[in-house]
Amino acid sequence: MIGYYIHHHGAGHLLRARSICAHLDTPVTALTSLPVDDTSFEHTVALAADNLAPTVADPTANGVLHWVPKGDDGLRDRMAAIAQWIAAERPRALVVDVSVEVAVLARLHGIPVVTMVLPGVRTDTPHELVHRTADALIAAWPRAVYDPMWLRAYASKTHYIGGISRFAARRPVSRNGAGGRPTVLVVSGAGGGGFTAPMIRDCAQRHPQYRWRTAGLDDWVDDLWPDLCAADVVVSHAGQGAVADIAAAAKPAVLIPADRPFDEQHATTTALAEAGLAVAVDGWPGVDDWPALIETARTLDPERWRLWGTNGAAARAASVIDRVAGTASRPAA
């Protein structure tokens, strides 16, 4: 058995876990506070929320960790449930996406740890702790496009596997002879993208030469693939899942980084813009700026998205996890 801890912010961590687990040779138990109602995993351990205390006291343990507030019953129950599962199941490995505290908890139980690393500037003490502790690190992007200096210290155990998209194996959907006005698809994520439906309506009213469509604002779409295939330009936040999905569809893109810790999305958009894969802007543009941005995006060669390496990325991640789990010594009964 392999454990897979899935962080609860947004939908990207769960979607990535599903993609990877489809390629794993070993049964997987998901550990998460997200609702999981599919068959992607052998079992699921429902975890309590870790922010139940009425006041937050010393959440970083004097800067050593990221989130361990004193006196939080949810945090206590959450960590106890993970420890109890480890004791009962004796897993071959635990994949952590993402939590410094869960990774350290597993390693304290003698369990090999594979952790996903994220873009941004991750040089703080908690990140250094988890990166040093892990048996393997998986970076879901290509090193040729983004090679952060802070990650080079762990080069011997870091695996750059490319962007993981749930659509990597999907065939393009026919646009049914679509023509006329170019379609601009604006995509927001479950964790928020920093823009709203009224913003898009303003753009549509000012620039009717484009057909404006949205997904994830007040119109959540379970299967985004047909909409991606129908778009001429995609406007999106720069979460790892969203970028990988755009890459899988090979669509011109304008990326607007959402405000995330450690400048995660800003680092991604900078790397993509420098590699000529997308147009990047730091914040929501003025309404009159959109035609120039859209037309600039349309001049980019969509074939350059192949550099993001979505084909086979989930399988490459699964191979890393299987190797770590396969070389682990099973604890004595």
Contact 8, 34 (CB under 8 A): yes
Any domain includes 170: no
Is the domain of 51 the same as that of 91?
yes
Contacts (Cβ under 8 Å, ≥6 apart) of 299: none
Any domain includes 176: no
Is the domain of 259 the same as that of 135?
no
The C-alpha atoms of residue 173 and residue 249 are separated, in whole angstroms, by 10
pLDDT at 177: 54
Token readout for 133 is 């502790």
The C-alpha atoms of residue 277 and residue 157 are separated, in whole angstroms, by 27
Q: Which alpha helices (H) appear in the chain, and where do they start and end? A: 12-21, 73-89, 100-108, 125-133, 197-206, 225-230, 240-249, 264-274, 290-298, 313-327
pLDDT in tens, 234-293: 999 999 999 999 999 999 999 999 999 999 999 999 999 999 999 999 999 999 999 999
pLDDT at 332: 38
Which residues are registered as beta bridge partners of 116? 138
pLDDT in tens, the chain (333 residues): 999 999 998 889 999 999 999 999 899 999 999 999 878 899 999 999 999 999 999 999 999 999 999 999 999 999 999 999 999 999 999 999 999 999 999 999 999 999 999 999 999 999 999 999 999 999 999 999 999 999 999 999 999 999 999 999 999 987 765 568 999 999 987 666 678 889 999 999 999 999 999 998 877 788 999 999 999 999 999 999 999 999 999 999 999 999 999 999 999 999 999 999 999 999 999 999 999 999 999 999 999 999 999 999 999 999 999 999 996 544 433
pLDDT at 221: 81
Is the domain of 294 the same as that of 245?
yes
Contacts (Cβ under 8 Å, ≥6 apart) of 90: 1, 330, 331, 333
Contact 183, 231 (CB under 8 A): yes
Is the domain of 7 the same as that of 26?
yes
Is the domain of 270 the same as that of 319?
no
Q: What is the CATH number of the domain that holds 110?
A: 3.40.50.2000
Contact 33, 48 (CB under 8 A): yes
pLDDT at 108: 98
Query: In the β-sheet with 253-255, what is the strand arrangement from edge to edge?
Result: 211-215, 183-187, 233-236, 253-255, 279-280
Is the domain of 57 the same as that of 139?
yes
pLDDT at 83: 98
pLDDT at 32: 97
pLDDT at 191: 61
Token readout for 190 is 């479950």
Is the domain of 318 the same as that of 234?
no
Residue span of the structural domain in which 247 resides: 183-308
The C-alpha atoms of residue 260 and residue 7 are separated, in whole angstroms, by 14
pLDDT at 333: 34
Contacts (Cβ under 8 Å, ≥6 apart) of 151: 117, 122, 131, 137, 139, 158
Is the domain of 57 the same as that of 203?
no
Q: What is the pTM of this model?
A: 0.94
Is the domain of 28 the same as that of 141?
yes
**Is residue 268 classed as helix, strand or coil in its secondary structure?**
helix
Say how many domains are in the chain.
Answer: 2
